[in-house]
Structure 1
């Protein structure tokens, strides 16, 4: 039985008002697709009957066009197997179509907000996200329990097709929202109703949604300096005026924020493990920040991107758990606790904001795919998530200790900050004249991934150094990486 295999060529348009024969139009359309690289050498064409039906011509016309291309050597016919693009086209540089005049050269007219955002965005060069020393923002993928994940995945992909393939709840799968609420209560001390939880396509989408919902153009946002680049760009794209607020050993300096912008509308913080300086926001600063937000009628975005991986002493309570006035919007992500390609995160809205956020999600968003949410819900409910978190806490603690054991050889050149959570820290240069950019470039040439602290800064700060990730690297890679770093100072 013949199948409807072969490339779909419905982009070919036949204009019956032209004097040119229909078979010639079809021939030229097929030829242009082949020569432009739209079909590669060895790729199969559909049967002439299928081609004729899709393009809207007779089969005789399709046979005529295909026969001509065969005679020219662009196509080849294989008895009993079909028609294929000639292998002589393999590896050839595609012929670019001619420009459609000056219009194709013209730059698009972008909105003023987009043009301004492009100028203010942080460095757009994307760092490598490969499991090696000393990449940041990447969990230990080699330690993920893939066998359990595969079993749960198979279970759900074999389930009801409407559940797997249809549109899901725009707020998120109810089972997952409930599982997240239970986890947050037990692990992070956050008591919330599942209706306050909205599942999103990663933390970055959450920041954009929050900015679009709360910020008018030009409104002020307190932002840690240095601070998280992704969130910074998300708020810039919403037209916010970012106010760089200093960070010291106790975290964000609330007094600095009040001095610069007492009328702030939003504050963004990473209190459990400051990005990138690895500091933990002290309890007194947490209370001061909550008080400042309440006085200014502002909101706080708490990005708890790796707070589950606390391996120090007893962790401080989250901002959300001690917020008594509904000022904190808590954002979490499974990119760090599970893996980044999942593209799954969540936010916990204050009770007063649930109705407005529900309206936005219902009207403007279709939600994220349902089946990954179902897998994550089972992963949490069956206890695999809690086990994984405990395992990874010890994993990151061990790698953190190995990093510091082998950092002693760098002591006269660099002070490496001790962390109490997550899988990155910072190393401060003892020589203030040393160039971050030159050191990062030399490290890259030596096979290491580092980024300068200045990359995270809205405004210059006094200290220079690099951000060092230790979570995704193996123990041997950490040891070797520290030896290589030591050589860079020679």
Structure 2
């Protein structure tokens, strides 16, 4: 493919007061850029007239410098295509130069230095779909045709609209679309003024912590629980309090026993991450009461609540919050795709002015063009249609996993779920979950151990099976590959 204009060589500086002519200086500057690797083999140089204009010299001076470099074999000229760095050049200077000696590690802030020791490592975030990746939606079923058409329309539109800084709290059209979605699907009564568009859910968690937490403030965290949120809150100096989870959700009584004067609670009530439980109505009411008595706030992370396919879902925690305690965080990473880096925050009416001030002062969100595309995708009905399709698809893929899992050994028991696109499997006592994960990885199958989600150890070992991004055929093949893992083939009893 022909390049438009070649590299931009802003690093070239010519000293008019030097004893060396500008021609020699230009030659040496280009030579240094080539030998250092700044101009890579095969990279095109600007046209002589462009380089002459940018360097402030005559075109003849540029031609002389390039001719000299071509004579030395550093540049090659292609008729009708321009001048390029030679692809056979050996770069002796670049190879001979030793890497700079590492200096002392930069001094980190107290909060980050403290948090870094407790971070859940994020190296397992998946980039490729398959069995049994737990954090990716079904890329193969995404309506790319509709998305491309809407994207093209906006990218051909008003440049000032899509290339500027945008509205501080998010594009108004998108905020209206999100509010309508929450009203219709979740029964949450809200308006666009309460919606703040963020660069993903982690951005929202960090912002909440920055606004409402002081270093050392105690935060209830589900254990096991969402590791990304854990890292975001740790980074702001929070003291995380692991609170156990049972079939009804976070055990509020245990939270009160461990930290009655908590400042914040983080929960995933619609589909507990990673155990998959749906928080009972009574547990929701207990949590709201505890937060009210402690004058605390609650982060409700509804990361995949749109995808329920069992009985009617419980109301959102935000929908039954009468005291303005719940900050509802949503994301498009699961409903659309993660690369959007697009999330939103629904705040109680009494907090709108606080968040307005933050977004107008120092918070910046995702690109306006991305927001505009998603807004139209929602307004034109494609989003709702996609949600309906994904519910049916995930239900079918879950059914394929349940059916295939019947052939697994008795040392592993897959658990039921009625929402989302992952479910846990518990292991018999004595099975090393890390060994199972390692053996599965050797066969090309991705599994996550439950311990990865834990702030403190739990009695039950297990694995997380993602089924959203894998086809039924891939799911069955994945089960076939792990059925005979040595770590699972043991004579153990429950």
TM surpasses 0.5? yes
Match of 1:52 in 2: 52
Match of 1:69 in 2: 69
Give the C-alpha shift of residue 84 in structure 1.
Answer: 1.4
Q: Is the 8 A contact 2:409 2:483 kept in 1?
A: no
Q: Kindly tell me: are residues 91 and 59 of structure 1, through their superposed partners in 2, closer, same or farther at Cα, counting changes over 3 Å? A: closer
Please give the root-mean-square deviation of Cα atoms over the aligned residues, in Å: 2.1
Q: Among residues 334, 337, 361, which one is paired with 1:363 in the alignment? A: 361
Match of 2:251 in 1: 253
Q: Is the 8 A contact 1:139 1:339 kept in 2?
A: yes
Q: Among residues 113, 116, 119, which one is paired with 1:115 in the alignment? A: 113
Give the C-alpha shift of residue 59 in structure 1.
Answer: 4.0
1:54-453 paired onto structure 2 within 5 Å: 54-89=54-89, 95=95, 105-410=103-408, 412-430=410-428, 432-453=429-450
Q: Is the 8 A contact 1:217 1:238 kept in 2?
A: yes
| Per-residue deviation, residues 133-156 of structure 1 (Å, max 9, x unmatched) | 000110001111111112222222
Q: Is the 8 A contact 1:41 1:90 kept in 2?
A: no
Distance in 2 separating the partners of 1:74 and 1:85: 6
User: What secondary structure sits across from 1:352 in the alignment?
Assistant: helix
Distance in 1 separating the partners of 2:398 and 2:203: 30
Distance in 2 separating the partners of 1:313 and 1:96: 67
| Per-residue deviation, residues 330-353 of structure 1 (Å, max 9, x unmatched) | 000111111111111101011111
Shifted more, 230-239 versus 149-158: the winner is 149-158
Shifted more, 88-97 versus 25-34: the winner is 88-97
User: What secondary structure sits across from 1:331 in the alignment?
Assistant: strand
| Per-residue deviation, residues 36-88 of structure 1 (Å, max 9, x unmatched) | 33223232111233223323445454334323222211012345543211121
| Per-residue deviation, residues 135-193 of structure 1 (Å, max 9, x unmatched) | 01100011111111122222222221211222211111111111111110111111011
| Per-residue deviation, residues 400-455 of structure 1 (Å, max 9, x unmatched) | 1111111112251111110110000111101x221111111110111101110001
Q: Is the 8 A contact 2:186 2:316 kept in 1?
A: yes
Match of 2:482 in 1: 485
Unaligned runs of 5+ in 2: 490-494
Q: Is the 8 A contact 1:169 1:367 kept in 2?
A: no
Q: Is the 8 A contact 1:168 1:366 kept in 2?
A: no
Distance in 1 separating the partners of 2:17 and 2:214: 52
Q: Kindly tell me: are residues 96 and 90 of structure 1, through their superposed partners in 2, closer, same or farther at Cα, counting changes over 3 Å? A: closer
Q: Kindly tell me: are residues 18 and 261 of structure 1, through their superposed partners in 2, closer, same or farther at Cα, counting changes over 3 Å? A: farther
| Per-residue deviation, residues 246-273 of structure 1 (Å, max 9, x unmatched) | 0111111111111111111111000000
Q: Is the 8 A contact 2:36 2:91 kept in 1?
A: no
Shifted more, 147-156 versus 437-446: the winner is 147-156
| Per-residue deviation, residues 356-390 of structure 1 (Å, max 9, x unmatched) | 10011011123321222222112212221111111
Distance in 1 separating the partners of 2:342 and 2:96: 39
Give the C-alpha shift of residue 31 in structure 1.
Answer: 2.0
The TM-score normalised by the length of structure 2 is: 0.93
Q: Is the 8 A contact 1:128 1:449 kept in 2?
A: no
Give the C-alpha shift of residue 95 in structure 1.
Answer: 3.2
Give the C-alpha shift of residue 15 in structure 1.
Answer: 4.4
The TM-score normalised by the length of structure 1 is: 0.94
Give the C-alpha shift of residue 24 in structure 1.
Answer: 3.8
- Does 1:476 find its partner at 2:461? no
Distance in 1 separating the partners of 2:27 and 2:97: 16
| Per-residue deviation, residues 286-320 of structure 1 (Å, max 9, x unmatched) | 00110111111110000000000011111111100
Distance in 2 separating the partners of 1:188 and 1:123: 33
Match of 2:38 in 1: 38
Distance in 2 separating the partners of 1:96 and 1:422: 54
Shifted more, 205-214 versus 407-416: the winner is 407-416
Q: Is the 8 A contact 1:171 1:367 kept in 2?
A: yes
